[in-house]
Amino acid sequence: MITVVHKPITVSNADREMMRRIERFILAYDGDNLLHDIELNFPDASFRAFFLAYGRAQDPARWLKPEGEA
């Protein structure tokens, strides 16, 4: 049996805003190298902001969750 432990994280306002910008970029993206283009367009993004945005863009059902949990 696999046990998954969920731990709450604290996301700063700067990371949350960057997450939204990256998320919009991903949803509108029409290129061939998404990760490279994100790195070029958002050089000051934290890994946390990228991870949250990428996860939310890949799983639209998570958008229904409150901010900070999705």
Which one has a higher pLDDT value, 40 or 56? 40
- Residue 51 pLDDT greater than 70, yes or no: yes
- Residue 68 pLDDT greater than 60, yes or no: no
Q: pTM for the full model? A: 0.70
Helices in the chain by DSSP H: which ranges? Answer: 13-28, 34-41, 47-58
Q: Return contacts of 28-31, CB within 8 angstroms, 24+ apart.
A: none
Integer Cα distance of 44 and 14 in angstroms? 11
Reference 57, options 19, 20, 30, 23; nearest CA is 23
Reference 15, options 62, 51, 61; nearest CA is 51
Per-residue pLDDT, 38: 92
pLDDT tens sequence across 5-38: 888 878 888 888 999 999 999 989 998 998 899 9
